[in-house]
Amino acid sequence: MVGASREELVSVPVLGPEWQKSELHELSRRGKSAVRKEKRQRIWREWTRDQRGVCGVTWLTRKMLVIILSCMVVGTALVLFFTIPRPPSYSFYVSQPFTVNNSTVQFARTPANFSFTGNLNILADTTSSYLPLQYSDISVQLYHLTTNKQIATGNYGKNKVKKGNQEPVSIPVQFSYSAPNATDTTWNDIYSACGHMWTGTVRPPLRLRLVLTSNIVGLVTKPETSTQISDVTCPFELSSNSV
C-alpha cells in the first residue's frame, strides 16, 4: 500500500519593505544627532529670513525682536537720564557763610589752641537734577588756606534737598586746633581774624579752604568739591580780656 504523502505547510513571515541605508543611518545615534543639527540649522535660517518667530511666537521675528530691543534700550536710557541724581554745585551765603555758637568759643595761648561750634551755610544748586536729592551723608573739612592745616570738620547726615534753583544747606561744624605756642601761623591768623575790635583795629579776614564730600543715594561715587573761602569776616568777636 502506497502511503499517502502529505505536504507540510510552512508559514513564512511576510517580508516588509527593505530598509534604505539612509533610513538605517537616521536610526543610529550619530544619525539622530545629525537630524537634530539639520533641524536647528533650518530653524535658524528661517528665523534670519524673518520666516519664523522666536520660542514658537510667530510674530516675534528677527526684525520685530530688533525693534523691541531697541525700544527697550531707548526707554531704559530715558529712565536713567531722568532718575539718576546729578551732584549739585555749591556756593556760600555771601553775607554769612558761618554762624557760631558764641558760648562754645574757647582760645588759649599755652598751649595754643581754639575750639568752637557752629554751622557752615551753603547753597546747593540742584537745577541739573530732575528729582530731589537724597543725601545719606555730607562731610566737610576746613583747612587754613596758607598752612593747609585742618581746623574744622562737619557732617550733615541723612537729609533730602528738594529740586530747586538754590536750596540752603546748613552743616554743623566743629572747629578745633592746637599747636605748641602762639607763634603758630594757623592759630595766630585765626586769633587775629576773630580778636577784639579795639578802636582803630582792622581785623584780617578768614582765609580757608573747604573740602565737601557728598554721599548721594543712587550714585556709586562720592563727588568731592573743593573751594576757597576768602575775605570772610569772622562771625564772632573775642572779649577785651581774652588771651
Q: Are residues 183 and 158 in the same domain?
A: yes
Separation of alpha carbons 56 and 53, rounded Å: 6
Does the CA dihedral 193-185-228-155 come out positive or negative? negative
Query: Does an H or E element contain 70, and which?
Result: helix 62-83
- Give 79: exposed, middle or buried? Use CB within 10 Å, 0-12, 13-18, 19+: exposed
Q: Are residues 152 and 33 in the same domain?
A: no
Which CA distances in Å does 53 have to 6, 47, 49, 61, 174? 70, 6, 10, 4, 67
Strands 133-144, 206-216: pairing kind: antiparallel
Q: Looking at the predicted structure, is the pLDDT value of residue 19 above 60?
A: no
pLDDT of res. 1: 46
**Average pLDDT for 236-243:** 81
DSSP code for 165: S
Q: Are residues 48 and 96 in the same domain?
A: no
Which CA distances in Å does 134 have to 54, 150, 219? 43, 28, 10
pLDDT of res. 56: 67
Q: Of 237, 241, 235, 211, which is closest to residue 223 (Cα–Cα)?
A: 211
- Is residue 155 one of the residues assigned to a domain? yes
pLDDT tens-digit map of 181-218:
889 999 999 999 998 888 888 899 988 998 988 888 87
Q: Between 43 and 237, where is the model more confident?
A: 237
Which range scores top for mean pLDDT: 25-29, 112-116, 239-243? 112-116
Share of residues in the chain with pLDDT > 90 (%): 21
- Is residue 1 one of the residues assigned to a domain? no
Q: Are residues 178 and 101 in the same domain?
A: yes
- Give 194: exposed, middle or buried? Use CB within 10 Å, 0-12, 13-18, 19+: buried
Q: Are residues 69 and 176 in the same domain?
A: no
Q: Looking at the predicted structure, is the pLDDT value of residue 30 above 90?
A: no
pLDDT tens-digit map of 42-61:
777 777 777 676 776 777 77
Q: Are residues 141 and 192 in the same domain?
A: yes
pTM above 0.75, yes or no: no
Q: Are residues 153 and 54 in the same domain?
A: no
Domain count, the chain: 2
Q: Which residues contact 198 (CB under 8 A, 6 or more apart)?
A: 240
- Is residue 14 one of the residues assigned to a domain? no
Separation of alpha carbons 236 and 240, rounded Å: 13
Range of the domain at 44: 23-83
pLDDT tens-digit map of 87-146:
787 777 766 788 899 999 999 988 899 999 999 888 888 787 777 888 888 899 999 999
- Burial letters 26-61, b for 16+ CB under 10 A, else e: eeeeeeeeeeeeeeeeeeeeebeeeebbeeeeeeeb
Q: Looking at the predicted structure, is the pLDDT value of residue 232 above 70?
A: yes
Q: Are residues 152 and 207 in the same domain?
A: yes
Q: Are residues 157 and 47 in the same domain?
A: no
Final residue before a domain boundary, out of 51, 83, 115: 83
Q: Looking at the predicted structure, is the pLDDT value of residue 18 above 70?
A: no
